[in-house]
Amino acid sequence: MTTIAWDGKTLAADTLITSNGMRVGHARKIGKRGRVLFAASGCLEFAQPFLAWCGNGFPGPPPPMKQDDNEAAGLVIFEDRIITFSHTGADTIRAPFYAQGSGSPMALGALHAGASAEDAIKAAMALDTASGGEIMTLTLE
């Protein structure tokens, strides 16, 4: 899957792509359009269209996030709120930090202890077998 972390200033993500428990490559999982950050985790088949939808300015309804047992989760960060997307719809969250993906428990623990988003991804990569590769970061500024 992946790990995405937001510390209130910086959005960070790993780049590892896995399939059937195997490491198969790397991909960008975060993006920025103006003063909006966005990210996706989960099945690449659904994550990539979500990232493209965000990058193109959110035209129309969001793309599907699930089919059969394959699904993705999306995240859009505005200055004052976080909107999460899944196959069940969208939810708005107001929180000082946030994480999603398979490594999110480790990343949330690190963020709660005061770690930066990048360090939270490092913590997740050390423990989550579905997170790895390089760490990419973006800020709202």
**pLDDT tens sequence across 69-93:** 889 999 999 999 999 999 999 999 9
In a domain, 34, yes or no: yes
Partners of 26 in the beta sheet?
Answer: 16
In a domain, 45, yes or no: yes
**pLDDT at position 19:** 83
- Check if the beta carbon of residue 57 is closer than 8 Å to that of residue 49: no
In a domain, 98, yes or no: yes
- The domain spanning residue 24 has which CATH number? 3.60.20.10
In a domain, 56, yes or no: yes
- One DSSP character per residue, 70-83 reads EEEEEEEE-SS-EE
- Kindly state the DSSP code that residue 125 receives in the 8-state scheme: H
- Check if the beta carbon of residue 103 is closer than 8 Å to that of residue 94: no
141 pLDDT band (50/70/90 cuts)? confident
In a domain, 14, yes or no: yes
Helix 117-127 to helix 104-112 angle, to the nearest 10 degrees?
140
In a domain, 84, yes or no: yes
Question: Number of folded domains in the chain?
Answer: 1
In a domain, 136, yes or no: no
**pLDDT at position 33:** 96
pTM to 2 decimal places: 0.94
Secondary structure element (H or E) that encloses residue 13, with its range: strand 10-14
In a domain, 141, yes or no: no
Range of the domain at 91: 3-129
Asked if pLDDT for residue 1 goes beyond 80, the answer is no
**pLDDT at position 22:** 83
Give CA angle at 30 (32, 93), nearest 5°: 85
**pLDDT tens sequence across 94-130:** 999 999 999 999 999 999 999 999 999 999 999 999 9
**pLDDT tens sequence across 15-72:** 999 888 888 889 999 999 999 999 999 998 999 999 999 999 999 999 999 998 889 9
Average pLDDT over residues 4-16: 97
